[in-house]
Structure 1
Amino acid sequence: MGIKSAYKGYKAYDYLGPEDYKHFELCDGLNRVEEYLVPLSEDEEKRVKKLAKDLIIISLHEHPVLFPKDLTKLDEYAREGRERAAYEALSHSYLDAVFDNMMDGTCTITSKSGWKWDEVLYDLGIRLCDLAHQDFVIRCEKVDDIIRAHREGKIALIPSIEGAAMIENELDRIDILYGFGVRLMGVAYSEANGLGSGLKEDRDGGLTAFGKRAVERMNKVGIAIDCSHCGVQTTLDVIEASQKPIFLTHVGARALWESRRLFPDEVLKACAEKGGVIGIEAAPHTTLTYNNREHSIVSFMEHFEYVKNLVGVDHVAFGPDTLYGDHVGLHHAYAGHLSTKSTQGTHDYNEVEYVKGLENPTETSKNILRWLVKENYSDSDIEKILSGNILRALNEVWI
């Protein structure tokens, strides 16, 4: 619906007083760097405004929160356990629904390594408590919530978790996470766990026996499955084992840039053949290409075009994986937690301070639509790409 009409000024944890938790100086959500918008003609601008108003627009993968200005405070910020949802900045986006991946790999409230069951529940509970005290963002539990958010000028937020290490060998924890509101979960986040192998592993053992049971339980419960950080064989095994379409929420094409973070054609095709959806990634230095070694919206869209041409327009979407803060600096600070060396590959590239045109969820949501209009995509294809493909798959997966 374009800029959201329902936002009334709430800031994260406004229901608490200054004495209740530790405060940090946070980045400016929208003005950390100069905004870049894909240039358009006057007629194209009019079309963008109409489509932004008329279409449902969904991001498959974001971290729509504010990070500290001073990155030396990151560990302290994470241990406090209160990431600040960027409500105001989101109100200026084109998004109607966003898959929020919480703290995930940086969830280190009591642990140096993260991914602990208690910490994940702490993170979910605190964030959902904040969500319950405002009326702009809707806690999304079903497809109808996304449609309602669009109709009411609000945003539907879908709690998501990038890896399943914290369920250990307890299938019932999948049910518990569903009860906490989780509607999408990754199988492995880079490192192997009890379900399967992550992309960091030199040897991919594929989906384990327990992993197959976990996939079956996620299908039954209604949690969508993501394999963005899994190894190739594990991903192929999950696609085969799942009775429902799966998601690769934030990936790219390895054919364009050699990196474990990106998938070869056989995986992208297998995902699409089972009805799955592939979201294109934009986090710094991921969707580079041999033609564009400086990461920007140009290389990002090169991956989109390649994947769209490979699997068809009915199976592509966007999962930019952006945030409000210094994303490059965060990657440096959390290199171990976030597996950035595996993400960036081994080829030479030009490191950027930020990804031009894809700096944060607000700018990214605008520029994706602007780029599709500039490239003269039809209204029907734009609708499929920005929401239709995702909604079709979610209608099959969610209970």
Structure 2
Amino acid sequence: MTPQKSEVKSRIGKNFDGYQSFKYLIPGKHYKPYQLPQSEKYRQTEKIKLREDQERIFETVLKSYPIVSLRDHGFVVPKNQEDIIPYCRQLHTAYDYKGLALSGVDVLFENFMDGISILTSSNGLKWDDVILTLGIRYCDIAKQNTVFIAKDYQDLLDAKKTNRIAILPSLEAASILENEVDRVDVLYGFGIRCMGITYNEANTLGSGLIEKSDSGLTKFGHRVVERMNRLGMVIDISHCGDQTSLDVIEASEAPVFITHAGARAVWNSPRMKSDEVLKACADKGGIIGVCAAPNTTLSSKNPNEHTIEAVMEHLEYLIELVGVDHVGLGPDTFFGDHVGLQHAFDDMLSLSESHGENYEESSYVKGLENPTEAMKNMMKWMITRDYNIQDIQKIIGGNALRVLEEILPFCD
């Protein structure tokens, strides 16, 4: 066992042997390297201090219960703002295996940043771009032992047992289908097990959350929902407009996920979900993951600072609204300058429109800056608020796994 592997495994129980992205290639010869932020710096965030008895509870939860992030990323943003676009125009973008190993997460819904894949198109969300991105990331993953691609429900259960992280391949939106329903099958064959219906703007399936007029799920969208149900693919409505969300929930035979969002009653922006949508999702048996991407889950109590307190206000509101059995965590963090990436792709993805108005931009979420600390700090926050272990277990993964067991057995 190498020193690096011993160091990481002794702290959080995950396999890590020091592997870095594309270690089998020569930078400068096989791909263009870009300066990345120092890992020691970009993994730092505010620590939540626990009493000794609380620390014992935290260690017990971390060791004993499956931890599921409904949305996070191993993606690393380059250090310099001007490098972001050219960096994303090549196949070889860095993935932080050590940062994920230190996160404590067992199951990760990961979309490999498909929304900003601009290999063949400057507008992104294109079929060729997504397939190329999946292929190169799968190749890199095949060279290491920290994470693995999950194909079915049993793989999710095996993650903690084998000291690894099960990645559930996901897509941000189904825009790449265009009008080809059989592409759903092709994506399933490529390992995709969760897919969003729309991103912020409308596509052939329905309306995104920034559209002024939401006419709901299209006829083609109904066909896609039916095909995803048949295959056993998780349906995600995180970025759908309200009517499209309600139509998807009604059309789907299986429960629907909102993997990363928040409550509009806490922060009034298009990116948040209305009570009507949240209740409908829960009534159908679905799960709502609380997002922590900068400038999304703010709170009207303090619109000028995005902190873990604001994010967890959304969690507590959701628990009160739909019950603890329908809530999970989907921080949607990655490594490096999250807001810098938002600025670089704002026009392409309509990000500022989705965030709403009348707030002062935060450069990061205090206490939830990246995947290394996000899930752990959310767990610690609940412990300091005297959540019982049973409820914590449900929120950090139990609820998601219960519903995934309903959906994913069709993979076999």
TM-score (norm. length: structure 1): 0.97
How much identity, in percent, do the aligned residues show?
49
Pairwise mapping of residues 236-251 of structure 1 onto structure 2 (< 5 A)? 236-251=246-261
Q: 2:284 aligns with which of 262, 265, 274?
A: 274
One-letter amino acid of the structure 2 residue matched with residue 205 of structure 1: S
User: Is this contact kept in 2: 1:37–1:366, CA < 8 A?
Assistant: no
Instruction: Write the distance in 2 (CA, Å) between the matches of 1:25 and 1:269.
Output: 45
Pairwise mapping of residues 119-134 of structure 1 onto structure 2 (< 5 A)? 119-134=129-144
Deviations for 1:214-242, whole angstroms, at most 9, x for unmatched residues? 00000111110001111000000000000
Give the match's secondary structure for 2:289: strand
Partner of 2:329: 318
Pairwise mapping of residues 15-26 of structure 1 onto structure 2 (< 5 A)? 15-18=24-27, 19-26=29-36
| Structure 1 residue ranges (4+ consecutive) displaced by more than 6 angstroms after TM superposition | none
Pairwise mapping of residues 170-319 of structure 1 onto structure 2 (< 5 A)? 170-293=180-303, 294-319=305-330
Instruction: Write the distance in 1 (CA, Å) between the matches of 2:348 and 2:108.
Output: 23
Partner of 1:32: 42
1:345 equivalent to 2:356? Answer: yes
One-letter amino acid of the structure 2 residue matched with residue 94 of structure 1: G
Unaligned runs of 5+ in 2: 1-8
Deviations for 1:173-223, whole angstroms, at most 9, x for unmatched residues? 001101111110000001111110101211001000010000000011111
User: Is this contact kept in 1: 2:120–2:128, CA < 8 A?
Assistant: no
1:3 equivalent to 2:3? Answer: no
One-letter amino acid of the structure 2 residue matched with residue 218 of structure 1: M
One-letter amino acid of the structure 2 residue matched with residue 252 of structure 1: G
Instruction: Write the distance in 1 (CA, Å) between the matches of 2:188 and 2:199.
Output: 19
Report how far residue 34 of structure 1 moved. 4.0
User: Is this contact kept in 2: 1:30–1:324, CA < 8 A?
Assistant: no
User: Is this contact kept in 1: 2:266–2:314, CA < 8 A?
Assistant: yes
Deviations for 1:49-102, whole angstroms, at most 9, x for unmatched residues? 121111110100112211100121111111102222210111111111111111
Report how far residue 142 of structure 1 moved. 1.3
Partner of 1:109: 119
Instruction: Write the distance in 2 (CA, Å) between the matches of 1:109 and 1:35.
Output: 32
Give the match's secondary structure for 1:373: helix
Deviations for 1:17-70, whole angstroms, at most 9, x for unmatched residues? 232111111123452274211222111012111211111101001122111001
Pairwise mapping of residues 346-365 of structure 1 onto structure 2 (< 5 A)? 346-347=357-358, 349-365=359-375
TM-score (norm. length: structure 2): 0.94
Give the match's secondary structure for 1:124: helix
Give the match's secondary structure for 2:89: helix
1:366 equivalent to 2:376? Answer: yes
Partner of 2:109: 99
Instruction: Write the distance in 1 (CA, Å) between the matches of 2:221 and 2:266.
Output: 30
Instruction: Write the distance in 2 (CA, Å) between the matches of 1:186 and 1:136.
Output: 26
User: Is this contact kept in 2: 1:207–1:234, CA < 8 A?
Assistant: yes
Give the match's secondary structure for 1:62: coil
User: Is this contact kept in 2: 1:13–1:130, CA < 8 A?
Assistant: yes
- C-alpha RMSD over aligned residues: 1.3
Instruction: Write the distance in 1 (CA, Å) between the matches of 2:110 and 2:38.
Output: 19
Instruction: Write the distance in 2 (CA, Å) between the matches of 1:182 and 1:29.
Output: 29
Partner of 2:385: 375
User: Is this contact kept in 2: 1:143–1:394, CA < 8 A?
Assistant: yes
Partner of 1:165: 175
Q: 1:48 aligns with which of 58, 62, 81?
A: 58
1:386 equivalent to 2:392? Answer: no
Partner of 1:336: 347
User: Is this contact kept in 2: 1:60–1:318, CA < 8 A?
Assistant: yes
Unaligned runs of 5+ in 1: none
User: Is this contact kept in 2: 1:105–1:337, CA < 8 A?
Assistant: no
Instruction: Write the distance in 1 (CA, Å) between the matches of 2:151 and 2:363.
Output: 36
1:70 equivalent to 2:115? Answer: no
Instruction: Write the distance in 2 (CA, Å) between the matches of 1:194 and 1:30.
Output: 43
One-letter amino acid of the structure 2 residue matched with residue 323 of structure 1: F
User: Is this contact kept in 1: 2:14–2:146, CA < 8 A?
Assistant: no
Report how far residue 133 of structure 1 moved. 1.4
Partner of 2:157: 147
